[in-house]
Amino acid sequence: MARKFFVGGNWKCNGTTEEVKKIVTMLNKAEVPSDDVVEVVVSPPFIFLSFVKSLMRSDFEVAAQNCWVRKGGAFTGEISAEMLVNLGIPWVILGHSERRSLLKESDEFVGDKVSYALSQGLKVIACVGETLEQRESGSTMAVVAAQTKAISDKVSNWTNVVLAYEPVWAIGTGKVATPAQAQEVHSDLRKWLKDNVSAEVAESTRIIYGGSVNGANCKELAAQPDVDGFLVGGASLKPEFIDIIKSATVKQ
């Protein structure tokens, strides 16, 4: 079965109630391809999850940007996977590079988080990606393979996982990967899944690209055979997010 195009919007730590309302109103009015063609998931800060879920059109889903690694309890400031399930939030982003670098989340910790979130019934957007230094030293694939292995070591069922390849040097920098650079890593990641997990998982798992995607560059990226969609940061707060969603039609 063909992989359904996937577009995630990562709002990061942005927005007031009024701004959030404006973005949702803009999304609710948009004419986009049907949910047979594209799956759209937006990820507001925790504090707005229920608000966004209550206002958002029914064909778009909502994701948290993180969750705790195990069952909730005495973990001040954390939000558990069980709480997200209880709120009816179906998705969570895990292993984003900002958390890996700023909050020192290790590959193993991210693998544990993905495993626990899946065990509670959440669907996971799991992020991997190399820094500029790692790319320039030729270790891109070694880095993303190690990050993916830390996930695959803990996960036996990949049905509810979307893998987001997000080169750190492209996130929030305006310096997007070229279509050829994105395709090369996506294809290598798919091969890694084939060799280390299974041919079925390699064929069915969506591998999406993230890093300075915008309305102008999305179509060329979407046309790459192993690019199954996008995780979008900055542009997901703007009307051009609609154009990015529409780039799904490139696959048809």
> In angstroms, what is the minimal distance from the CB of 11 to ligand PEP?
9
Tokens 């790459």, located at residue: 224
- Say which of 98, 130, 166, 186 is annotated catalytic: 166
Asked if 108 is an active-site residue, the reply is no
Selected binder of ligand PEP within 20, 233, 237, 247 (CB under 6 A): 233
* Residue window 75-94: x/- pattern of binding to ligand PEP, with contact defined by CB under 6 A: --------------------
Asked if 98 is an active-site residue, the reply is no
Does residue 182 belong to the site contacting ligand PEP (CB under 6 A)?
A: no
Does residue 213 belong to the site contacting ligand PEP (CB under 6 A)?
A: yes
Closest by CA to 233, choosing from 96, 124, 76, is 96
Q: Count CB neighbours of 243 within 10 A.
A: 17
Q: Return the sign of the alpha-carbon dihedral for residues 207, 208, 211, 212.
A: positive
Does residue 10 belong to the site contacting ligand PEP (CB under 6 A)?
A: yes
Helix (H) or strand (E) holding 221: helix 218-222
Does residue 210 belong to the site contacting ligand PEP (CB under 6 A)?
A: yes
Buried b / exposed e along 119-153 (16+ C-beta atoms within 10 A): ebebbbbbbbbbbeebbeeeebbebbbebbebbbe
* Residue window 148-177: x/- pattern of binding to ligand PEP, with contact defined by CB under 6 A: ------------------x----xx-----
247-140-221 Cα angle (round to 5): 10
> In the numeric block, which tokens belong to residue 112?
């544990």
**76-84, 185-193, 205-213, 238-246 -> range binding ligand PEP (CB under 6 A):** 205-213
- DSSP E strand boundaries for 129-200: 161-165
> In angstroms, what is the minimal distance from the CB of 172 to ligand PEP?
4
User: In terms of CB distance, is 143 or 232 closer to ligand PEP?
Assistant: 232
Binding site for ligand PEP (CB under 6 A): 10, 166, 171-172, 210-213, 231-235
